[in-house]
Amino acid sequence: MPRTVRASKLSADRDSGRRAIMLHRRERRRIPRACVLAGLGAARVRRSGPTPVGVSERGSGLTSPKRRHSGGTVPDSHRCSTAIEAHCSTGWFDGLMDVLILGGTTKARQLATRLIDEGVDLCSSLAGRTKSPRPVPGPTRVGGFGGIDGLKEFLTDNEVKVMVDASHPFAAAMHGHAAQACRDLNLPLARLAPPSWRTQPEAATWHWVDDHDGAAQVLADLPDVILLTVGRQPVSHYLRLGPRRVIVRCVDAPEEELPAGWKVLRERGPFTLDREREIFSQGVATLVSKDSGGTGLDPKLRLAAETDVQVVMVSRGPAPGWGDELSTVDDAVQWTGNHIATVIEQ
């Protein structure tokens, strides 16, 4: 069963962990840090400053030295790249990594920043489902691993010591793959996610459903205008609503043809309360959201409570059966340092 780790139960001796990490890094063979493209075709790496010594800049990006791999050259899917932004265009990188961070969420970016400041070698992995994701600090790879076996191979080839799954709370497939891969390899895993909104007082008035099909069924009896804030991919589950007044808010436009009366509002959060008021002023009577969670309600849920807007909330799936459950970046930083130190001491 996953364990929920609280700050009070985390080791307070962060200095000893940090010293062990730095000693371990000094013992490694140092080679220039470099970036490569991860199968993104003609996309270019944008960077600032001169090209680091030992790094070649070509038409599609920066090419890293070849690393050890059971089959010879490391395949593109196993490389770390900064095709979004070349944040790692300077400094040193030994070709291996201490930590793999899954996800491009706000918490994932904050964690990457903190760990880099601590001197930890890491790589962040993005699913690649958003066409223009926010830049993530440090080396970044984009795309899937090729299932559980591909993820295990990546972890083994790069000698990853710990993994932090900071992907979206609704990335169920990724959560499952991460847990199974780490279980098979006996690798420390933490899942970093905001606490559920179920504990909020307003949650008792919401229509809780297990999935998007359940949400669509509940919406049959709720008034228009419906504000759909579940992202682009689940939109297909709601097409059964037919020609009603629906506002779909998402970063990228849905691929499906939408019924009459639907409109797409392409925006990227986080959203201010004033912006939510502008949207709600279009006659929003029902809000559909996923339980992304947080320490407090986000603006749209606060506004829904103030204006008596109906809320349909899609529940999270069950937690994977391996790893520790963390809710804050501070906890994740300390957890990572402690576990890296433990691995090094072994």
Q: Mind listing the pLDDT tens digit for each residue in 184-222?
A: 999 999 999 889 999 999 999 999 999 999 999 999 999
Q: DSSP letter at 118?
A: T
Same domain, 297 and 224: yes
Cα–Cα distance for residue pair 218/72, rounded to 1 Å: 54
Q: Is 170 exposed, middle or buried (0-12, 13-18, 19+ CB in 10 A)?
A: buried
Cα–Cα distance for residue pair 155/159, rounded to 1 Å: 6
Same domain, 178 and 211: no
Same domain, 191 and 236: no
Same domain, 310 and 210: yes
Scored b (16 or more CB within 10 A) or e, 19-47 reads ebbeebbeeeeeebbbbbbbbbeeeebeb
Helices of type H across 243-309: 273-280, 299-307
Q: Provide the pLDDT for residue 340.
A: 82
In this predicted structure, the answer to whether residue 237 has a pLDDT above a threshold of 90 is yes
The chain-wide mean pLDDT, for the chain, equals: 76
Tokens of 19: 């010293």
In this predicted structure, the answer to whether residue 83 has a pLDDT above a threshold of 60 is no
Cα–Cα distance for residue pair 200/291, rounded to 1 Å: 11
Average pLDDT over residues 243-255: 94
- Whether 177 maps to a domain, the answer reads yes
Q: How many CB atoms lie within 10 A of CB 129?
A: 16
- Whether 22 maps to a domain, the answer reads no
CATH number at residue 212: 3.40.50
Residue ranges making up the domain that contains 125? 97-195+319-345
In this predicted structure, the answer to whether residue 279 has a pLDDT above a threshold of 90 is yes
Same domain, 182 and 266: no
- Whether 24 maps to a domain, the answer reads no
Tokens of 110: 């904050």
Q: Provide the pLDDT for residue 7.
A: 40
Q: How many CB atoms lie within 10 A of CB 191?
A: 25
CATH number at residue 167: 3.40.50.720
217 compared with 55, residue with greater pLDDT? 217
**Residue 89: which pLDDT band, with cuts at 50, 70 and 90?**
very low
**3-state SS class at 345:** helix
Count of structural domains, the chain: 2
Find the range with the poorest average confidence among 64-68, 121-125, 287-291: 64-68
Q: Provide the pLDDT for residue 320.
A: 78
The pTM for the full model equals 0.66
Q: Provide the pLDDT for residue 160.
A: 92
Q: Provide the pLDDT for residue 287.
A: 98
Average pLDDT over residues 265-291: 95
Helices of type H across 13-83: 14-27
Cα–Cα distance for residue pair 300/206, rounded to 1 Å: 13
**3-state SS class at 203:** helix
Same domain, 236 and 286: yes
Q: Provide the pLDDT for residue 111.
A: 93
Q: Provide the pLDDT for residue 23.
A: 52
Cα–Cα distance for residue pair 336/317, rounded to 1 Å: 25
Cα–Cα distance for residue pair 45/60, rounded to 1 Å: 7
